[in-house]
Amino acid sequence: MPRPVRKAVFPVGGLGTRFLPATKSMPKEMLPIVDKPLIQYAVEEAQAAGIEQFIFVTGRGKTAIEDHFDNSFELADMLRARKRHDLIDAINHWLPEAGQVAYTRQQDPLGLGHAVWCARNLIGDEPFAVLLADDLILGEPPSLKQMLDRYADLGGNMVAVMDVPRTETRNYGVLKIGREDGEVVEVTGLVEKPDPEVAPSTLSVIGRYILQPEVFAHLGQGHFGTGGEIQLTDALAKLIGGAPFHGFRFRGRRFDCGSKIGFIEANIAFALEHEALGEKLRPYLRDLSRNL
């Protein structure tokens, strides 16, 4: 039986340049989707999957994330005085328990692979998950829970995948695939950001991973790949053949919130699902569509 996945890594050290000037003083992971920041959605997804320890790989200017995952006594006192117990619950009920959150610093922005490697001492010798807050997935059950349910049978390494237009393969890690069994695909190769004409498929890696600790040995070699960065995809490719490796076609809709259009689309989609906003927003969107 595969070892359980208890820990999750959240790489949050990026600069968020595509959202300047908004991210000049605010971490991009704190940008709100309706009424919650992106990073909270990622943590709640991990909680729903049974994750017990939450490891944030931060960088300069990310203290707002640490503050968000802490108690705000002054705010709670003010809300209590105003008898806004509903809001007290909204800011407290999802918080991880004391000792469940840890932070480590990525001093240099050397890529996703380097960010994951920075968490090695907090992970130790056990499997772990990686969640990228930029990839927001609307689905039920949450995508990481879907993956862990299949991981319990398959073990090894697993990445969330989806088909993208061939013209967009240069933006993703792309799979070379073997056998397919419904939502699960055997991974026989991985290429980081291939040009469309040489991409082995259009099945591309999305920001959810279940990884074995052996990946740290490859990341620790410090190999610089595409874009002059230490790519997680390159290290994962070296794991193929040593343990089971699968792609998982998750059920849900993914929003690339690292792009402005994806961020706007996510706000609309999540607002439509919001119990207090959905019915108010639909008439506006219908009127708007008629005037386009």
pLDDT in tens, 80-90: 888 787 887 77
Rounded CA separation 51/216 (Å): 20
Which domain, by its residues, includes 92?
Answer: 7-290
CB-neighbour burial class of residue 108 (10 A; exposed 0-12, middle 13-18, buried 19+)? exposed
Q: Is residue 1 part of a domain?
A: no
pLDDT score of 292 more than 80: no
| Mean pLDDT, range 122-127, rounded to an integer | 95
Domain count within the chain: 1
Q: Is residue 2 part of a domain?
A: no
Q: What angle do CA 138, 143, 147 make, to 5 degrees?
A: 165
Rounded CA separation 247/184 (Å): 6
pLDDT tens per residue, range 149-175: 999 999 999 999 999 999 999 998 899
Closest to 11 in 3D by CA, of 108, 109, 131: 131
Q: Is residue 33 part of a domain?
A: yes
Q: Is residue 192 part of a domain?
A: yes
| Residue 212 pLDDT class (50, 70, 90 cuts) | very high
pLDDT at 276: 86
pLDDT at 98: 85
CATH of the domain at 238: 3.90.550.10
Contact status, residue 226 vs residue 164, Cβ threshold 8 Å? no
Q: Is residue 249 part of a domain?
A: yes
Greater confidence (201 vs 95) lies with: 201
CB-neighbour burial class of residue 6 (10 A; exposed 0-12, middle 13-18, buried 19+)? middle
